Chains A and B, each alone.
Chain A
Amino acid sequence: MGINKTVTRRSFENKPESSLLKDKGLIKRFTDRNSEGRGKLYIYSSAILMIAAVVSITLFLTLQGLRSFTVDHLNIWDFLTGSEWYPDRAENPSYGAWPFVFGSISVTLLAALITTPVAIGCAIFMTEVAKKWGQRILQPVIEILVGIPSVVYGLIGLSVIVPFMRHHFGGTGLSLLSGSIVVGIMILPTVTSIAADSIRAVPDSLREASYAIGATQWQTIWRVVIPAAGSSLITAIVLGMSRAFGEALAVQMVIGNARHVPHSIFDPAATLTTIITLSMGNSTTGSVLNDALWSLGLILLVISYIFIVIIRFLSGRRNAR
C-alpha cells in the first residue's frame, strides 16, 4: 500500500489531467484509503450485531421470565415442582410447571431412544456396509428429510400415527408416545448425518488391523469402529436431543395437551413448548398467567444453554484428543 501511494503520487501529481487511469476512476479505487475503513465498519458492525442478538435474547428473556417471581411473588420451588397447572381457576389458581418439564424431558429421551438405533444403523450402512451406493442413495434421502418443515411432520403424525395408535392401543391416540415418534422421525436425518461423519473419521488402519486378526465385519464395527467414534456419536445424539427438546408445533399437534403428569406413555401429555404455543396468544400481557408462561420460556432457554454447554464439552474433548 505504501509503495502504491508513492508511485501514484509521483507519476500523477505533475500532469493529472492526462491520466487515463484517473479518468476511469481506477486510481481512486486502488488508493481509496477510506474503503478499507468502510469495509471494516460493515464487517465489525455485523459481528457486534450477532453478539447483541445473543446478549439481548438472553437478557430480555431472563428479565421477563423472572417477573413471575419478583413481581407476582410465586415461589420458585413451588413453580418448578408443583404438578397442578390451573391458572384459570377462580379461587386459588396454581402454577406448577412440573408436568411440562416432565413432558419435555420424557419426549426428548423417548425420541432419542427411538432414533438412536435406527440413525446409527443408517450411518453404519452408509459408511461401512454399502460404501458406494448406500451413500449415493441415503445422502439425498437425508437432505430431503432435513428440509421438510416440522409442521408437515406434525400433520402427517396427526393423520397417520395418531389413528394408528388409536386403533391399536385405544384412547384418543394423542399421546406421549405419538409425540415422541414424530419428533424421533424429525431428528433422525440430523443424527444420522452427524453420526455418519464421525464414523467416516475413524482411520482405516483400525479396520484393517481388525480384519487382519480375523474379525467379522460386525465384530469390527461393534468392537472397533463404534468405540473409536464414541464421543462424536454421543455428540450426534445430544444434538438430536436438543432439537427434539425445542420442537414446538409438531409435538403440539400430536401429544394431546393434557395438563397433568402422564401415567403411561399412551397418555396425553404436554411439554414446555406446547403449553407456551397454546396459551401465549390467549393471555394478556402483564397477567400472572402471562408471566408464568415467560418463566416456562426461561426454563426452556436455560435447558437449551445446558445442551449447548454439553455439546461444547463433548466436541472440545474430541478436539483435544
Chain B
Amino acid sequence: MSSKVTNRIALSFIVLCALIMAGTLAALLGYLLVKGVTSLSWSFLTSESSSFMAGGGIKDQLWNSFYVLIITMLLTVPIGVCGGIYLAEYARPGKLTSYIRSCVEVLASLPSIVVGMFGMLIFVNYFGWKYSVLSGALVLTVFNLPVIVRVTEDGFRSLPLHQKEGGLALGLTHWHTIKTILLPAAFPSILTGIILSAGRVFGESAALLFTAGLSTPNLNFTNWNPASSDSPLNLFRSAETLSVHIWAVNTSGIIPDIQRVANGSAAVLVICVLLFNLIARTVGKMINKKLSGKQ
C-alpha cells in the first residue's frame, strides 16, 4: 500500500514542478503585460531618453539595439557559416579539428562579461575605438559565433548524403557542391538558427556594458552620413542599447519615473525577442513548405 501512496505523492510533486515552471512564465509575461505594456505609448517609443527629467523615451536605445544587431549579424553570419561548413565538410578527424571544436565550445561557454572585458581590452583600449557601435558589434560577434557555427554544422549534417554524392558525381568540385547544392538545402535550418540567435544578441547586455557604453550622443535622424558624429549610422559613437538602458536606469538612474521607463523598455525588449522567435518559426516552416512543394 505504502508504495502506492509514495507514488501518488511523488507524482503530484512532479506535477507541481511543471506547474511552477509554467507559472513562472505566466507570472513573467503577466508582469510585463500589466506593468510594461501599460506604460508603452507612441511617444515613449519615439522620444529621446532624458537623464534627469520624467517623461523620457527610448527612441535612441531602440535604434542602437537594432543597429548593433545588424552590424553583428553582418559580421557573424559569413564567418560562422564558413566555420560550420569547415567542421561539417572539410574537417578531418585529428588534433586540429578537435582543437577547433574545443575552441567553439569554450567560446560558447565563456560568460558574456568575460567576452565584454576582452572587448574592452582590445577594441576599446588597445585599438582606441572607445565605447563604440563597432566595438560592441565585434564583441557580440565573438559571443554569437559559436551559435551560428553549431547551427550550420547541424544543418549540413542533417542533409542526406546522396545530395553531396550527386554533386560530386557530376564532376563538381567540393566547394562548388557546397555552394550550389548543400548550402541551399541547409538554408532553412540555418536561417531559423540565425534569427533565433538574433534574439539572444538583441537581449545581451553584460558584454555591451564595457564596449558600447552607457550613453548615446545626441543623434540627428535626418543626417544619414556615416562619417559625421551625430549621425545614427556612425560606427564610432557610443551606443547604449535597450537592455543596457534597463540596467543603467535601475542602478544609476536619477529620473523620477525609473519604474515606468524600465518596465516599458523591458516590455519592448521581450516583445522583440518573442517576435524574433515567432519569425524564426514561421520562416522555417514557410521555406520548408516551399522547398518540399517544389520537389
**A and B held together in a complex:** yes
B256 partner residues in chain A, CB cutoff 8 A: none
Q: Which residues of B (130-165) have their CB < 8 Å from a CB of A?
A: 142, 145, 149
A151 and B176 contact, Cβ closer than 8 Å, known pairs A1-B171, A246-B113, A248-B111:
no
Binds A, one of B23-31, B39-47, B48-56: B23-31
- Whether B7 and A218, one on each chain, are in contact in the complex, defined by CB atoms closer than 8 angstroms, is yes
Query: How many Å from the CB of A301 to the closest CB on chain B?
Result: 6
| Contact assessment for B269 and A149 in the assembled complex, using a CB-CB cutoff below 8 Å | yes
Residue of A nearest to B122 (CB): A60
**A53 and B103: CB pair below 8 A?**
yes
Residues in A whose Cβ lies below 8 Å from that of B262? 155
Query: Measuring CB to CB, which residues of chain B are less than 8 angstroms from any residue of chain A?
Result: 3-4, 6-7, 10-11, 13-18, 20-22, 24-25, 27-28, 31-32, 35, 78-80, 82-83, 85-87, 89-91, 99-100, 102-107, 109-115, 117-118, 120-122, 125, 142, 145, 149, 171-176, 178-179, 196, 199-200, 202-206, 209-210, 214, 243-244, 246-247, 250-251, 259, 262-263, 266, 269-270, 273-274, 276-277
Cα–Cα distance between A185 and B176 once the two chains are bound (Å) = 47
Complex partner residue of B204 from A124, A138, A149, A242, CB under 8 angstroms: A149
Q: Are A285 and B11 within 8 A (Cβ)? A: no
Given A29-B176, A141-B21; A273-B111 close (CB under 8 Å):
yes
Q: Decide: A129 and B109 in contact? CB cutoff 8 A.
A: no
| A72 adjacent to chain B (CB < 8 Å) | no
Number of chain A residues whose Cβ lies closer than 8 Å to a Cβ of chain B: 94
Q: Which 6 A-B pairs have the closest CB atoms?
A: A246-B111, A149-B203, A121-B17, A39-B175, A46-B82, A4-B171
Q: How far is the CA of A217 from the CA of B6 in the complex (A)?
A: 10
Chain A residue numbers with a CB within 8 Å of B203 are 147-152
Most buried by A among B115, B196, B246: B246
**Please, how many angstroms separate the alpha-carbon atoms of A50 and B144 in the complex?**
11
Bound-state CA distance A50–B105 (Å) is 11
Q: A36-B173, A148-B203, A248-B112 are in contact. Are A253 and B18 (CB under 8 A)?
A: no
**A273: nearest chain-B partner, CB-CB:** B113
Contact A281 B214 (CB under 8 A): yes
Q: Which of A79-87, A88-96, A156-164, A258-266 contacts B (4 or more CB under 8 A)?
A: A156-164
Q: What residues on B are CB-neighbors of A118 within 8 Å?
A: 17, 20-21
Contact with B along A124-137 (1 / 0, CB 8 A): 11100110001001
**Shortest CB distance A82–B (Å):** 22
Q: How far is the CA of A122 from the CA of B24 in the complex (A)?
A: 13
How many CB-defined contacts (below 8 Å) exist between A and B? 265
A220 to chain B, nearest CB (A): 10
Which residue of B14, B90, B103, B179 is within 8 Å of A129 (Cβ)? B14
A56 to B118, CA, bound (A): 9
Query: Which one of B15, B112, B273 lies within 8 Å of A147 (CB-CB)?
Result: B273
A12 an interface residue at 8 Å Cβ cutoff? no
Is the pair B17, A44 in contact by a Cβ cutoff of 8 Å? no
The secondary-structure label for the interface of chain B is helix
Which residues from A are CB-within-8-Å of B179?
39
Q: Would you give 24 A-B contacts (Cβ < 8 Å), ordered by A?
A: A1-B173, A3-B171, A30-B176, A39-B176, A40-B175, A43-B82, A46-B83, A53-B142, A57-B118, A61-B117, A118-B17, A120-B17, A122-B17, A122-B21, A125-B18, A148-B203, A149-B270, A151-B205, A159-B31, A159-B259, A248-B206, A278-B251, A280-B120, A297-B117
Stretch from A204-212, A227-235, A303-311 that touches the partner: A303-311
Alpha-carbon distance between A92 and B205 when the two chains are bound, in angstroms: 35
Q: For residue B20, which residues in chain A have a CB less than 8 angstroms away from its CB? A: 118, 122
Give, as a whole number of angstroms, the nearest-CB distance from A185 to chain B: 6
Instruction: Note all chain A residues with C-beta closer than 8 A to B28.
Output: 145, 148, 152, 156
Q: Quick one: closest B residue to A49, CB to CB?
A: B79
A47 within 8 A of B: yes
- Report the minimum CB–CB distance from A151 to chain B (whole Å): 5
Taking a contact as CB atoms closer than 8 A, the residue among B18, B35, B202 that contacts A134 in the complex is B18
In the complex, residue of chain B having the shortest beta-carbon distance to the beta carbon of A148: B270
Are B85's CB and A188's CB within 8 A?
Answer: no
